[in-house]
């Protein structure tokens, strides 16, 4: 992005964890935001020690560090949207929620990051309750995967009907809209039979915006799991909102962006 274009681009604030491998977290967020012609600014909530294969721990920031980082950004930039990812401790969750209220930050996209793909815990148990009471009600949209949605809603998700029920419960916690990402659904739950003897698997996502439900059925790409797709999706949605898109349009564009990333990754692996 050239200097003039960057100067005029909407500014998206990322508040998340740092993954040194670059597969997820703030690096993936920034790549996405810049690819979608927005300007990325970022505050680091935690420095994690992980790579593609394993997670061995993290060094979390303090509430004071979060405030100082974000205030420095707000002093220089007009924020058009916010993407929130990893918030590991109760203190950080409270501080981020307080700063959102103080600055009246717009277009808040909250990705409730709880675990790494390899099973590392990214949100402390004590932070979860604070997240639900303090941050979730501030979200324009929250974007859980199936395990995250199950924890937030307090029910098992096995199919489209239970996705609808879970999304309604999460909205009742205060979020204006919920996008449940269906990539973790069992294969039979994600399959849609087009005609006798022909079963085609779709990637099924569900959006509940103020009680209006929209289903997204995208192409399923077989191959190894691609890290960071949740980060990319939520950041891409924030970019769409920052540009003035309506929520569903922002999600559609974001899903297309992520689908291209997955497809390109799959093709590279197959070469």
Q: Which pLDDT tens digit goes with each residue over 132-171?
A: 999 999 999 999 999 999 999 999 999 999 999 999 999 9
CATH of residue 114's domain is 3.40.1190.20
User: Is 106 a member of any domain?
Assistant: yes
Question: Would you place residue 198 in the very low, low, confident or very high pLDDT band (cuts 50, 70, 90)?
Answer: very low
Asked whether residue 171 is domain-assigned, the answer is: no
Please report which confidence band the pLDDT of residue 264 belongs to, taking 50, 70 and 90 as the band edges.
Answer: confident
Residue 182 covered by a domain:
no
Domain ranges, residue 236? 3-139+221-270
**CA pseudo-torsion sign 153, 93, 242, 147:** negative
User: Is 190:179 a contact under the CB 8 Å cutoff?
Assistant: no
Q: State the Cα–Cα distance between residues 185 and 188, nearest whole angstrom.
A: 8
Q: How many domains does the chain have?
A: 1
* 166 lies in some domain: no
Is 236 within the bounds of a domain?
yes
Determine the pLDDT at residue 225: 59
In a domain, residue 180? The reply is: no
Residues 86 and 43 sit within 8 Å (Cβ to Cβ): no
> How sure is the predictor about 262, in pLDDT bands with cuts at 50, 70 and 90?
confident
Is residue 151 assigned to a domain?
A: no
Asked if the structure places residue 265 within a domain, the reply is yes
């Amino acid at each position: 992005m050239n200097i003039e274009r960057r100067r005029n681009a909407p500014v998206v604030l990322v508040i998340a964890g740092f993954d040194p491998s670059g597969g997820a977290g703030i690096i993936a967020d920034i790549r996405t935001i810049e690819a979608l012609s927005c300007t990325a600014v970022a505050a680091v909530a935690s420095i994690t020690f992980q790579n593609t294969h394993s997670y061995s721990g993290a060094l979390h920031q303090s509430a004071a560090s979060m405030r100082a980082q974000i205030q420095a950004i707000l002093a220089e930039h007009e924020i058009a949207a916010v993407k929130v990812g990893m918030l590991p401790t109760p203190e950080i969750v409270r501080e981020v929620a307080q700063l959102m209220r103080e600055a009246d930050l717009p277009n808040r996209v909250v990705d409730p990051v709880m675990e790494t793909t390899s099973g590392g815990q990214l949100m402390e148990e004590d932070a979860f309750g604070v997240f639900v009471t303090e941050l979730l009600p501030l979200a324009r949209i929250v974007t859980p995967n199936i395990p995250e949605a199950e924890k937030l809603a307090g029910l098992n998700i096995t199919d489209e009907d239970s996705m609808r029920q879970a999304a309604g419960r999460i909205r009742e916690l205060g979020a204006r809209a919920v996008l449940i990402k269906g990539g973790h659904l069992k294969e039979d739950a994600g399959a849609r039979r087009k005609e006798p003897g022909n079963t085609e698997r779709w990637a099924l996502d569900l959006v509940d915006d103020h009680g209006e439900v929209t289903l997204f059925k995208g192409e399923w790409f077989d191959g190894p799991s691609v890290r960071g797709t949740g980060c990319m999706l939520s950041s891409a949605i924030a970019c769409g909102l920052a540009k003035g898109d309506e929520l569903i349009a922002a999600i559609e564009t974001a899903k297309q962006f992520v689908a291209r990333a997955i497809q390109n990754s799959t093709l590279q692996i197959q070469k």
